[in-house]
Amino acid sequence: MLPVNATLGVVLAVLLVAAVGVAALARLADGRGRGYARAIAASGVRAAVQLAAVSYVIGFVVRSVPLLLAFIALMFLVAVRTSGRRVTDNGTWWWTAVPIGAGVAPVVVALLLTGLVPVKGIALIPITGILIGGGLTATVLGGRRALDELHARRGEVEAGMALGLLDREARLEIARPAASDALLPGLDQTRTVGLVTLPGAFVGMLLGGASPVLAGAVQLFVLVALMVVQAVAVAVVLELVARGRIHREEAGGAAGAAVGGAGREDRRWARWLRG
């Protein structure tokens, strides 16, 4: 296991500076020109502070079921806020709670009812955290890809509605392939586990003294559960985008018909074409 000492701190600082330097030299930025160098630096520092705080907090919450449930609720709310602001800048961001919750809640409830995971912080917090994190990633990737595709191909959406497709159906036809790509990271991780990558749960249990068979069984469970959570999250966020529940304010006029959900003019043309 890694020793917690000054050497570890220095190595972490050097790695973080290296990541920031590469991002700055390569001018890595998002679609709006906002560079990722500062974001990487801020994320590294924030992660250190948050992990230090959480390490102490978990020691208290594991002793009380109400505190445990409150901590899990906090994890969920932070995930919703983070994913929502990544997907859209307007007030529809809170809808990302639906795909994350729809994916995570049934799996966690099933684990508790079957007794595979006890209502104890030492077991429930890491499992739930992994699942919420997977739902967050799938929701962000699926939502952003769907909205980007609808914006870039809004003319095709309008053409579909003019030919008689409902607004939701036209958007689904365009956004579904792009949003579905959000499943690729999880699929690749599952396909290559043990051959290319050794995920954290497996390595952590080995370092903790568990047998390789037990560590492998736990990791398999985590990967399969993550695939369920991510599949549900992508399906739900795609549906929300198609129905206009999640949209972007920048899509005004013709773009708003494709993304925002108005489409009244297109429906009039559709009725006229159908006679």
Least reliable range by pLDDT among 158-162, 190-194, 207-211: 207-211
The residue length of the chain stands at 275
pLDDT, tens digit (0-9, with 9 covering 90-100), for 104-129? 999 999 988 888 887 776 778 888 99
pLDDT at 168: 86
Contact 80, 92 (CB under 8 A): no
* φ/ψ (deg, to 5) at 165: -70, 145
pLDDT at 138: 95
Average pLDDT over residues 27-42: 85
Q: Which of 208, 197, 188 is nearest to 126 (CA)?
A: 208
Domain boundaries, the chain: 1-61, 67-274
pLDDT at 208: 67
Buried (b) or exposed (e) across 38-77, using 16+ Cβ within 10 A?
eebbeebeeeeeeeeeeeeebeebbeeeeebeebbeebbe
CA–CA distances in Å: residue 217 to residues 57, 90, 201, 208 = 29, 42, 10, 15
Q: Is the pLDDT of residue 266 over 60?
A: no
Q: Is the pLDDT of residue 269 over 70?
A: no
CA angle 122, 128, 133 (to 5 degrees): 130
Output the average pLDDT for the chain.
Answer: 83
Q: Which comes out higher in pLDDT, residue 177 or 64?
A: 177
Average pLDDT over residues 218-239: 91
Strand, coil or helix: 85: helix
Q: Give 35's strand partners.
A: 29
- The token pair that represents 154 in the structure block: 């809004």
pLDDT, tens digit (0-9, with 9 covering 90-100), for 14-34? 999 999 999 999 988 877 778
**Direct distance between the N- and C-terminal alpha carbons of the chain, in angstroms, rounded to an integer:** 73
Contact 127, 224 (CB under 8 A): no
CA-derived radius of gyration, the chain: 22
pLDDT at 275: 46
Q: Is the pLDDT of residue 262 over 60?
A: no
Q: Is the pLDDT of residue 103 over 70?
A: yes
d(CA 74, CA 125): 11
Quickly tell me which residue has 């909205």 as its tokens.
147
